[in-house]
């Protein structure tokens, strides 16, 4: 049974919500199940992995125009989500970065996954 393109999949064994490991498993991180925490990665990073990654608030930068909150994906440390709030505290919008490259289209997880996979192949 093959997983649909928009579901969370373990990058080590390929299990997913409707097709768990035979011995049973649970999610340890955005892309890793409990049955194979130390297994080698074999599947590409997908947008769904990034969408369910834990984003940890790392810093808040305040300037004359408002405030930027920098969130780093715990499972993918080169992925940084910056949320902007104006002086009145209203949410302005997200910017997504992969390393030093900015994704301009809000929550551009598909573009970010593509970039991460390209960089992994080049390494």
Give me the DSSP letters along 59-98. EEEEETTEEEEEEEESSSTTEEEEEEEETT--EEEEEEEE
The pLDDT of residue 70 is above 90: yes
The pLDDT of residue 46 is above 90: no
Q: Are residues 83 and 102 in the same domain?
A: yes
- For residue range 88-122, list pLDDT tens digits in order: 989 988 999 999 888 877 889 999 999 998 887 77
pLDDT at 5: 61
Q: What residues contact 71, with CB distance under 8 A and at least 6 apart? A: 55, 56, 57, 58, 80, 81, 82, 83
Q: Are residues 57 and 108 in the same domain?
A: yes
Number of domains in the chain: 2
Q: Are residues 58 and 102 in the same domain?
A: yes
Instruction: Quote the domain boundaries for residue 110.
Output: 51-122
pLDDT at 40: 63
Q: What residues contact 119, with CB distance under 8 A and at least 6 apart? A: 98, 99
Share of the chain above pLDDT 70, in %: 90
Q: Are residues 37 and 63 in the same domain?
A: no
Contact call for residues 96 and 84 (beta carbons, < 8 A): no
Q: Are residues 60 and 89 in the same domain?
A: yes
pLDDT at 2: 61
Q: Are residues 68 and 24 in the same domain?
A: no
């Amino acid at each position: 049974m093959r997983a649909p393109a928009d579901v969370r999949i373990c990058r080590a064994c390929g299990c997913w919500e409707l097709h768990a490991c035979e011995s049973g498993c649970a999610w340890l991180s955005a892309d890793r199940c409990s049955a194979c925490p130390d297994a080698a990665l074999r599947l590409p990073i997908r947008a769904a992995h990034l969408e369910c990654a834990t984003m940890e608030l790392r810093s808040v930068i305040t300037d004359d125009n408002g405030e930027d909150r920098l969130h780093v994906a715990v499972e993918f440390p080169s992925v940084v989500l910056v949320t902007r709030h104006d002086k009145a505290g209203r949410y302005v919008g997200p910017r997504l970065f992969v390393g030093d490259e900015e994704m301009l289209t809000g929550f551009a997880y598909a573009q970010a996954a593509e970039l991460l996979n390209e960089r992994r192949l080049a390494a």
